[in-house]
Structure 1
C-alpha cells in the first residue's frame, strides 16, 4: 500500500456522510439506473423520471487512461454535465475486470511492458441462472506494479471529481480461476490485501464523495473460511467505506454462505449499502412462485435483510416500462 493512504482516511470520513446525504431513511432504498458503459446520452426519458435519483455508469481503465499517465475523463465530464442538468446523481464504476475474451480493456502499456507481467489474468464468469459459463479477464491487482498504476488512476480521478460525483465504486471481489493452475504470482492473501489497498486508495482520493466496494465472493474462500469477508467488512466500517454487490437474489444459498449475512449484521455500521440488480439477476426464479423475482420481492429483501440504501437497477427491469407511480 502506498504511504499516507491510511493517514488520510480518518479526515476523509468526516466529510463523506454529510455532503453526500441521501436524505430521510424512511425513503430508502432509492433507485439508480445501471447504464453499463453506454453513459447518460443513452438514458432518454429515464432522466425525467422522478422515481430515479441517479445513474451508475461503467468506465473501463483503458477508456480513462488511453496512454500511460495520459488521462481522458471526457466521458465522465459529459455524463456529469447531463446528470447535473437533470438534477440527478452520478455513480462512477471504475472497471478493472471484463467478461468476454475480446475485452482486454486495460491500457496497452500494461499488456506489453514486461514490468506488468501481461496486466491481465484469465477468469470465468457465471452470468446468471441457466446461462453458459463465460470467459474473460481480471486485472492483476495482486501485482504491486499493476496495483500502483491503478491507484494512480484513482488519485487522478479524485483530483477531478471528488465532491462532484455522488460516488465511486470498485468492482466485485469475486473472480473464478483455474485453482489447479492459478495465475503467475497470484496468492489468496495477496489478492485480498490488494483489494483492501485499493479501497483505501479510493477513500483517500475521494474524501467528499461516497466510495463503495462491491463484495460478493472471494477466491479461495467459502463461508468466511479464511476470514476475508469478515475482515473486509471490519475494514470498511473502520475506514468509512460503503459496500455493495452486483446482485440481489433473495435467500440464494451461495450468497447466504458469503456476503449476505455480513450485510445483514453490519449494514447499520456502514456509511452506505448499494446493491445492484443487473441483467443476470433477472434470470433467477423465485422458488415460491416458479417465476422471476418481482420488484417487490427484490426490494423487500434488499431493504429488510441487506439494509440497502441504493438499488442500482438494470434498465431492463420490467417496472421501468411502466409510468412512475
Structure 2
C-alpha cells in the first residue's frame, strides 16, 4: 500500500509541474460532429465536409445488449460503414445515463432482477440556460453486479471494435440525485470508485482505440474537497486514458470550481482531450457581450485554457449551417 501511495504521489507531483503549452503553440482543435443517437447516414452531407474529421454517436446500453449476454452491434457496424465510405472516423459514446424521465434505456433484466437494485437511480437534468430543470436516470454503477455486466459489454465491444473505432468514451461523471430519493447502496466513495473501475476496464478492452472518460462534476464534491477530481486526473495520466466533457462553456463559474482547472493544469499529461459543444451548450450567453457564445469563443477557450484536441460539435451549431 505504501508503494502504491508513493507512486501516485510521484505522478501527482509530476503532473503539477507540467506547464500548459503557450496558446500560440497549440493548433485549433479538430472538428467532429456530435450526432446524438442519429445514424451517420442521416448526416452524410455534414460529415463529408472537408473541415469535419468524424462523428461522435451515442449508443445506449439497451441498444447494444437487448437481452442478457446477447449483443447487437449492428448500428455501430452500419455507422462505421457509412463513415468509412466518407473517409471519416467514428467516436462511440457508451451511454449508461439518460436525460428524460421516459428514457430508461437499460436492458430489461437489469431493471427487474433484484440483484441489480432496480438498475437506475433518478437524477436532475439541466437542459440549458433558461430551461426548466428536468429529470432523468443514471445506471447504478456502484452496484457490483450491474457494473460487472457493464464491463462485460465493454469487453465485447473491445473484442469486436478495438482498432476499428477512432475512439470510445464513457459519459459524464455528474450525478445530481433527486431530492428525497435514496438509491440503494449509493455512497459518494462507491460512486467514485465505480467510475474509476470502469475507466480501467475500458482501457484494458481497447488497446488500439483512443479511450476517454468524460468528467465534469462529482456527486458530493465541490472544488475538489474530496480530492475526487484530483485523483481521477492522476489515474487517467498514469493509465493513458484521455479525458473530456460534455460542455465547453468559457469561464463558467461552476465548471471553473470543478473540472476546468484540472484540464488546464494537466492536459499535456493526457493522451487526448476531447470535449463537446452540445445543444445545451449553445444556449449559454457570453457575459462580456450579452450574446450567445460564438464558434470563436468556444475554440479559443478550448484551445488556450482547456488544451482540447477534439471538439464534438452539435449538428445544430450555427457555423455548420452556414
- Taking structure 2 as the reference length, the TM-score comes to 0.91
Q: Per-residue CA shift, 1:187-237, capped at 9, x if unaligned?
A: 000000000000000000001000000000000000000000000000000
1:262 matches 2:262: yes
1:46 corresponds to which residue?
46
Rounded Cα–Cα distance in structure 2 between residues aligned with 1:154 and 1:28: 31
* Alpha-carbon distance, 1:128 to partner: 1.1
Deviates more, 1:53-62 or 1:37-46: 37-46
Secondary structure of residue in 2 paired with 1:305: helix
1:183-198 to 2 correspondence within 5 Å? 183-198=183-198
1:229 matches 2:229: yes
- 8 Å contact from structure 2 (residues 26, 304) kept in 1: no
2:71 corresponds to which residue?
71
Secondary structure of residue in 1 paired with 2:111: helix
Rounded Cα–Cα distance in structure 1 between residues aligned with 2:271 and 2:71: 30
Rounded Cα–Cα distance in structure 1 between residues aligned with 2:86 and 2:180: 50
Q: Per-residue CA shift, 1:131-157, capped at 9, x if unaligned?
A: 100101100000000000000000000
Secondary structure of residue in 2 paired with 1:158: helix
* Alpha-carbon distance, 1:180 to partner: 5.6
Rounded Cα–Cα distance in structure 1 between residues aligned with 2:43 and 2:27: 23
* Alpha-carbon distance, 1:95 to partner: 0.3
2:11 corresponds to which residue?
none
Secondary structure of residue in 2 paired with 1:263: helix
Rounded Cα–Cα distance in structure 1 between residues aligned with 2:191 and 2:26: 38
* Alpha-carbon distance, 1:283 to partner: 0.6
1:312 corresponds to which residue?
312
Rounded Cα–Cα distance in structure 2 between residues aligned with 1:26 and 1:173: 27
Rounded Cα–Cα distance in structure 2 between residues aligned with 1:53 and 1:78: 18
1:158 corresponds to which residue?
158
Rounded Cα–Cα distance in structure 1 between residues aligned with 2:118 and 2:43: 36
- Provide closer, same or farther for how the CA distance between residues 63 and 198 of structure 1 changes in structure 2, counting only shifts above 3 A: same
- Provide closer, same or farther for how the CA distance between residues 81 and 57 of structure 1 changes in structure 2, counting only shifts above 3 A: same
Task: List alignment gaps of at least 5 residues for structure 2.
Answer: 1-24
1:86 corresponds to which residue?
86
1:289 corresponds to which residue?
289
Rounded Cα–Cα distance in structure 2 between residues aligned with 1:276 and 1:148: 28
Secondary structure of residue in 2 paired with 1:285: coil
Task: List alignment gaps of at least 5 residues for structure 1.
Answer: 1-24
* Alpha-carbon distance, 1:26 to partner: 5.7
1:110 corresponds to which residue?
110
Please, what is the CA RMSD of the aligned residues?
Answer: 1.0
1:140 matches 2:140: yes
Secondary structure of residue in 2 paired with 1:268: helix
1:213 corresponds to which residue?
213
* Alpha-carbon distance, 1:92 to partner: 0.3
